[in-house]
Structure formats: structure tokens, C-alpha cells
Amino acid sequence: MLSLIPFLIVMGALAVLSACFSAAEAAFFSLRRQDTQRLATFGWTGRLASHLANRGEHLLTAILFCNLLVNVAYFTMSSVITLHWQRQGSIQQAGVFASLSILVLIFFSEMLPKSLAAQRPVASALILAFPIYMAVRLTNPLLPVLRGIAISIRRVFWPGFKPEPFLRVRELEKAVRFSQEAAAVLEDEQHVLENLVQLSDLRAEDVMQPRTEVRIFHRPVSPAEAKAAFSVSKYLFIVEQEDEAFTAAISSRTLMRAAQRTETADGRQPNVLPASDQSNTTESEGLDSVDLAVWAEPVAYVPWNVTAAQVLQTLVDEHRDVAAVVNEYGETVGIITLEDLLSRIFTRETSRSEQFFGRRPILPVQPGVWHVTGLTSVYRLCRYFGLEHPEEASRTVAGIFQDQLGRLPKPGDICRWGPFELRAIQVGRRGVILAELRRCDHAKETAE
């Protein structure tokens, strides 16, 4: 029996290691985004834990691989002891020991540590940060080999394999629709859910304010300029002199708070001049001689082809109010504000046509005839007329004209879109501003 004590000690150490890896898996993957950010404030161990949590794929591979090695070693030690007792004729003792070793590993190295770590993920991540970091460092040289093996196996046995999304947008739309029929949600909640789903189908270029429609300023920014800007917008956008790139924005709320702090420090009552909107700010006496650009906040940058939902996530992650949309050449082509996205979510009907032109995107003028703006999205048209969303490059009415004509349209130009005919009515220097939409059968009757 004494000869087996070293093996039992090794088994105990391996069980503790397995418990650590199991707890780390539960802890790090139970962290919420705010937990990960809060970890960075707990000294070097917190920063280490935050760094590991942000490398989910490498972390999971290292934990699973190391846990697998530990479990294999544990069962190897268990097998050595079991075979030793079998050779001595203690069959019952060998069977009991083998069963107990499995139960100990399952309960004390899997279930219990995972349950405890999931209840206190932040504390567990802080405790386990350094040993897990060392495990990640040790397995880093093996990761390319493991990844190559996994990719090779997938390509040989499942060449057409595509990852299945957790929940498709269309499935979520059906769930929203069914929940409405079952009266599971209120009407207002129904519209919010539908608008949230729509963000996943819209690209950044569909919801952005085009650069040509945005008033821009160079540093320094005077209170008079700010007053004029805030009379039509809640944001003041700043570009650099050198490359005309959007770098910062000033919100009316930021200036309001700055004005209040300035006036309060001077011992006077805060005074903000009125504007067209109650939430807009203008110059105050305390800001007369100050460059307002000092209150500007950096903007986030997003590519033009990401979804509106991804833009919203970027703004939340980076704690920004404004995102600059850049094209494939790195040029800023538009602006998206957090307020615009929230407006799309919480209002029943919202569109860029209403923001820029003060008119509805789709306006019935007579039976079978509608006026649509060039900024109206194809997705909105499909929803309005109950059509399936086509797989085409055009994202707006203006884009349909340019794709089919191969040039900027002129007033009177006609093109086809599904069962409809589009005729350009009003054209600007960047394309269609207003078009007439008719059903094809109605257009034929009118021609006859």
C-alpha cells in the first residue's frame, strides 16, 4: 500500500489542476462585457484576466487542451493502481477504486468548480488569471498545429461545411411575429423588436448621414458657428485641415454640461441661449472666448459595408456617440450617431428621408402610384409592399437607377424593379432625390 502513495498524491494534484481548468472555463466565459472592463481596474492580475477574456478562442483551446492532458494523466495513474490491485488478486478493491476515481473527477474536478466559478466569475477569474496565462503561454506553440489539423479534417470530411448561426434574422422575425399573435409582448415592444431585427439587415451606408448633407467645421470652433450648427443638428462635426478626415464631434449635451460647469464656477446662473430644439445648446456667456473644439470627443470608425447592428455595438463598446463611415479607400463618406440608431429602434417610423428632406420615404399619391425618395432603402420598400428581399447590390432607390442605367439618372429616366416601374422626377448632383413608383400593370393601363 505504501508503494501506491506517490501515485495517489499525483492523482490528487492532477484532480486539483483539472478543477482549476474547469473553473477557469466557467469563470472566463461567464464574464459579461462590463465585468471584463471592470477586471482591468484590479491591478496586474485584473489586467491579465481582462486580456485573457478578450482572447476567447486561444483561451478556450488552451484550457480544453490542458484539461484533456491532465485528465489523461489522472486516468493513467488510476489505471496503474487498479492494475496493481488486480495482479494481487484484490478484484473488488480495484473495481471500487476505479469507480471512486471517476466519481471524484466528475464531481470535484468538473461539476463543483464550474458551479462555484459560474456564481462568482470575476473573483474566480482574478484567482486563476496567472496559472491560466501560463497554460496559454505553454500551449501557444501548439495552437497552429492544432488549428491546422482541425482545418484539414474539416476540409477532408466536410468540405461544404458552413457554421450555423445561433439565430437567423428571419427566424427572429418569425419569433417576433408569433409572439405578437400570442399576445406575449405589448404592441410597443413588438415595434422595438422589429426595429432591432431590421438593424441586422441594414448596412452602415443605409443609415448614415451622407457627408454631403453634414455641415463640417475646422478648428477652432467659435460659439457663433456652434449656434448656427445646433439650430439644425444636435452634433457639430470637426474635420482636420490636412486631409479633411472626420476626427471628432461635439454634442449639444456636452456643451450644455460645460456651460453649466463654467457658469457655476463663476458663481452665476447657467445661461444657454435657446435654439429650435429644447435639447440643442448654443453659446453661453462663459464660453464666448473659448474654442469649443476643446470639448470635442473622438469618433469611432466603421467600414461602409458592416451592418447597422455592428455599428451600434461598436459605439457601445468604444463609448462613442458618433461613428464615421469610411469606404474602401479610407475616405469618410458619412456619419452615424448613436441618437440616430436609437431613434430607429424606439420610433415606429424613421427614415433618412424624413431627417434630410422632411418628407415620408414612401408617399401614396393615387391608386397604384407612390412617390419615393432616392434615400429610401430597398429593405423598406420590400417591407412596405410585402415582398421578399432581393439578392442584389442596390441598397436604395438611387442605387437602383445608377446600377441599371450605368450613369447618373436624368429627370424622366425609367427603370424596372420587381413588379414596379420607377421614373425619376427630381434629380440632384449625386443622383435621384425623388422618383415615381408604379406597378407595371398600372403603368401599362396609363399608357393605353
Q: What is the 3-state secondary structure (H, E, C) of 152-198?
A: HHHHHHCCCCCCCCCCCHHHHHHHHHHHHHCCCCCHHHHHHHHHHHH
Q: What is the pLDDT of residue 75?
A: 92
Q: Report which listed range, 160-169, 213-222, 235-244, 371-380, is most confident.
A: 371-380
Higher pLDDT, 276 or 390: 390
DSSP state string for 326-384:
E-TTS-EEEEEEHHHHHHHHHSSS--HHHHHTSS-SEEEEETTEEEEETT-BHHHHHHH
Amino acid at 143: L
Q: Grid coordinates in use for 160?
A: 461544404
The pLDDT confidence band at residue 13, using thresholds 50, 70 and 90, is very high
Give the distance, in angstroms, between the CA of residue 391 and the centroid of all CA atoms in the same chain.
Answer: 23
The CATH number for 213's domain is: 3.10.580.10
Pairing mode of beta strands 209-210, 362-366:
unpaired
Q: What is the pLDDT of residue 119?
A: 92
Q: Report which listed range, 5-14, 35-44, 403-412, is most confident.
A: 5-14
Average pLDDT over residues 408-430: 82
Q: What is the pLDDT of residue 27?
A: 92
Amino acid at 47: R
303 and 382 within one domain: no
The pLDDT confidence band at residue 22, using thresholds 50, 70 and 90, is very high
* pLDDT at residue 220 greater than cutoff 50: yes
Q: Is the Cβ–Cβ distance between 322 and 299 less than 8 Å?
A: yes
How far apart, in whole angstroms, are the C-alpha atoms of residue 130 and residue 222?
Answer: 52
137 and 54 within one domain: yes
Name the nearest CA neighbour of 130 among 49, 243, 198.
49
Q: What is the pLDDT of residue 274?
A: 37
Q: What is the pLDDT of residue 127?
A: 93
Q: What is the pLDDT of residue 130?
A: 92
* Backbone φ, ψ for residue 192 (5° rounding): -65, -45
- Out of 297, 312, 346, a domain closes at 346
Q: What is the pLDDT of residue 114?
A: 93
- Out of 323, 346, 369, a domain closes at 346
* pLDDT at residue 360 greater than cutoff 80: no
356 and 284 within one domain: no
How far apart, in whole angstroms, are the C-alpha atoms of residue 335 and residue 32?
Answer: 29
Name the nearest CA neighbour of 315 among 304, 300, 296, 303.
300
Higher pLDDT, 428 or 338: 338
Element (H, E) at 252: helix 252-265
Residues 6+ apart with CB under 8 A from 45: 126, 129, 130
> Cα Rg for the chain, rounded, in angstroms?
31
Name residue 334's beta-bridge partners.
Answer: 210, 325
Q: What is the pLDDT of residue 408?
A: 80
Q: What is the pLDDT of residue 184?
A: 46
Task: Give the global pTM.
Answer: 0.49
Q: Is the Cβ–Cβ distance between 439 and 420 less than 8 Å?
A: yes
Per residue in 45-70, pLDDT (tens digit) is: 888 998 888 888 888 888 999 999 99
Average pLDDT over residues 164-178: 57
| Percent residues over pLDDT 70 in the chain | 76
Q: Is the Cβ–Cβ distance between 237 and 230 less than 8 Å?
A: no
The pLDDT confidence band at residue 286, using thresholds 50, 70 and 90, is very low
* pLDDT at residue 138 greater than cutoff 80: yes
The pLDDT confidence band at residue 272, using thresholds 50, 70 and 90, is very low
Name the nearest CA neighbour of 397 among 419, 371, 377.
377
How far apart, in whole angstroms, are the C-alpha atoms of residue 389 and residue 381?
Answer: 9
Q: Grid coordinates in use for 233?
A: 443638428
Higher pLDDT, 183 or 427: 427
- Out of 287, 316, 346, a domain closes at 346
Q: What is the pLDDT of residue 240?
A: 72
* Backbone φ, ψ for residue 364 (5° rounding): -65, 130
3-state secondary structure of 406: coil
Compute the C-alpha angle 76/82/88, nearest 5°.
Answer: 140
324 and 226 within one domain: yes
Name residue 303's beta-bridge partners.
Answer: 326
DSSP state string for 67-86:
HHHHHHHHHHHHHHHHHHHH
The pLDDT confidence band at residue 282, using thresholds 50, 70 and 90, is very low
Q: What is the pLDDT of residue 108?
A: 92
Q: Grid coordinates in use for 439?
A: 406597378
192 and 79 within one domain: no
Question: Would 24 be classed as within a structural domain?
Answer: yes
Average pLDDT over residues 204-231: 76
Q: Is the Cβ–Cβ distance between 318 and 300 less than 8 Å?
A: yes
146 and 14 within one domain: yes
Question: Would 162 be classed as within a structural domain?
Answer: no
Question: Would 145 be classed as within a structural domain?
Answer: yes
Question: Would 163 be classed as within a structural domain?
Answer: no
Question: Would 437 be classed as within a structural domain?
Answer: yes
Q: What is the pLDDT of residue 55?
A: 84
* pLDDT at residue 241 greater than cutoff 80: no
Amino acid at 235: Y
How far apart, in whole angstroms, are the C-alpha atoms of residue 55 and residue 34?
Answer: 16
Q: Report which listed range, 195-204, 321-330, 354-363, is most confident.
A: 321-330
* pLDDT at residue 153 greater than cutoff 80: yes
Name residue 349's beta-bridge partners.
Answer: none
Question: Would 20 be classed as within a structural domain?
Answer: yes
334 and 267 within one domain: yes
Question: Would 164 be classed as within a structural domain?
Answer: no
How far apart, in whole angstroms, are the C-alpha atoms of residue 232 and residue 323?
Answer: 19
Q: Grid coordinates in use for 1?
A: 500500500
Specify the range with the lowest mean pLDDT, choosing from 73-87, 124-138, 261-275, 343-357. Answer: 261-275
* pLDDT at residue 276 greater than cutoff 50: no
Q: What is the pLDDT of residue 264?
A: 52
222 and 359 within one domain: no
- Containing structural domain, residue 310: 204-346
The CATH number for 404's domain is: 3.30.465.10
Question: Would 245 be classed as within a structural domain?
Answer: yes
b (16+ CB within 10 A) / e for 139-176: beeeeeeeeeeeeeeeeeeeeeeeeeeeeeeeeebeeb
181 and 149 within one domain: no
Higher pLDDT, 324 or 3: 324
Give the distance, in angstroms, between the CA of residue 302 and the centroid of all CA atoms in the same chain.
Answer: 11
Number of domains in the chain: 4
* pLDDT at residue 145 greater than cutoff 70: yes
Q: What is the pLDDT of residue 344?
A: 79
3-state secondary structure of 54: coil
* pLDDT at residue 167 greater than cutoff 70: no
77 and 223 within one domain: no
Q: What is the pLDDT of residue 289?
A: 57
218 and 103 within one domain: no
320 and 296 within one domain: yes
**In whole numbers, what is the pLDDT of the chain averaged over residues?**
78
Q: Which residue has the cell 412596405?
A: 384
